[in-house]
Amino acid sequence: MLSNTIALSIAFCVMLLISPKGINILHRMKFGQEVRDDGPQTHLKKQGTPTMGGILFLIAISIGILPFIGEVSGLLPAYLLGLGFGIVGFVDDYLKVVKHQSEGFNPKQKMVSQIVISLLYIAFLYFYSGRANDFLLPFVKETSWSLGILFFPVSLFIITATDTGANFTDGIDGLCSSVTAVIVFFLFLVDRIILGGAELGALPGAV
- Domain map (residue ranges) of the chain: 2-206
For residue 11, give the nearest of 59, 56, 61, 68 by alpha carbon.
61
Calculate what percentage of the chain has a pLDDT beyond 90. 6
Indicate if the alpha-carbon torsion angle 28, 167, 177, 19 is positive or negative: negative
Name the CA dihedral angle for 174, 175, 181, 183, rounded to a multiple of 10 degrees. Answer: 80
Predicted confidence band at 62 (pLDDT cuts at 50, 70, 90)?
A: confident
What does the pLDDT read at residue 163? 81
**Rg of the chain in Å (alpha carbons):** 18
pLDDT higher for 118 or 50?
A: 118
- pTM of this structure: 0.70
What does the pLDDT read at residue 205? 42
**141-184 per-position pLDDT tens digit:** 666 777 888 889 988 998 898 888 777 766 555 456 666 667 66
Predicted confidence band at 117 (pLDDT cuts at 50, 70, 90)?
A: very high
Q: What is the mean pLDDT of residues 22-36?
A: 67
User: 4 labelled as ligand-binding?
Assistant: no
